């Protein structure tokens, strides 16, 4: 892969955004489920989730199958992040390394929500399968998930096979 410096920065941002979305869906999907950390029951999230890993030399990936629930989901998010970072290792710039003075908290400020995403966004839902699972707002039923795509429920219907068809058409 050949990316310019600015394209790589955008590529790195996309990798990090996918990871953030994946871990956000773990917290959403596991809401109400507790994990034990140091003898205390705490919410499942990227800070508290624990899992065991093994490495599959054949695929070059982390094997998350020996985990369940919170740990398995977090493991799949972390595996995807590590895999993407390793695949793009040669593109990293030392200027963005913490060894050269890069500070995440100073450089990576949270963005403000886009205009028009105030009241009326509806409930937070998640769509897709791990590790590509991502959050979306259902706009009070106006949006739904079909396998791995979010769609407008007034315009389309999700078929049992995962295809989207115009409302009123048969699957």
Last residue of a domain, one of 74, 105, 136: 105
What are the backbone angles phi and psi of residue 125, rounded to the nearest 5°? -130, 170
Query: In angstroms, rounded to a whole number, what is the distance separating the alpha carbons of residues 95 and 92?
Result: 9
Evaluate if pTM is beyond 0.85.
no
Same domain, 72 and 39: yes
Selection from 74, 29, 25, 31 nearest residue 51 by Cα = 74
Q: Give the total number of structural domains in the chain.
A: 2
Same domain, 23 and 70: yes
* 62/23 same-domain check: yes
Could you give the C-alpha distances from 30 to 38, 68, 109, 112, in angstroms and in order?
19, 12, 26, 26
pLDDT tens series, the chain, 171 aa: 444 455 657 788 899 999 999 999 999 999 888 888 888 888 887 777 788 889 999 988 999 988 888 899 999 999 999 999 888 877 666 555 555 555 555 555 554 455 555 547 899 999 999 999 999 999 999 999 999 999 999 999 999 999 999 999 999
What is the three-class DSSP state of 121? coil
Q: 101 and 66, same structural domain?
A: yes
> Does 119 fall in a domain?
no
Structural domain span for residue 152:
124-166
SS3 18: helix
Last residue of a domain, one of 105, 137, 156: 105
Please check whether residue 116 lies inside any domain of the structure. no
């Amino acid at each position: 892969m050949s990316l310019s410096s600015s394209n790589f920065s955008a590529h790195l941002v996309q990798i990090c955004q996918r990871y953030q979305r994946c871990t956000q869906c773990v917290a959403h999907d596991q809401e109400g489920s507790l994990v034990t950390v140091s003898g205390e029951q705490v919410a499942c999230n990227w800070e508290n989730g624990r899992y065991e890993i093994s490495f599959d030399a054949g695929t070059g990936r982390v094997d998350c199958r020996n985990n369940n629930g919170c740990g398995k989901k977090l493991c799949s998010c972390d595996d995807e992040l590590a895999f993407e970072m390793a695949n793009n290792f040669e593109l990293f710039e030392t200027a963005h390394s913490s060894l050269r003075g890069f500070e995440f908290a100073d450089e990576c400020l949270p963005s403000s929500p886009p205009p028009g995403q105030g009241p009326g966004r509806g409930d937070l839902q998640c769509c897709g399968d791990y590790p590509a699972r991502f959050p979306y707002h259902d706009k009070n039923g106006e949006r739904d998930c079909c396998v791995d795509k979010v769609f407008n429920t007034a315009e389309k219907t999700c078929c049992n096979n995962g295809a989207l068809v115009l409302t009123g058409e048969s699957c």
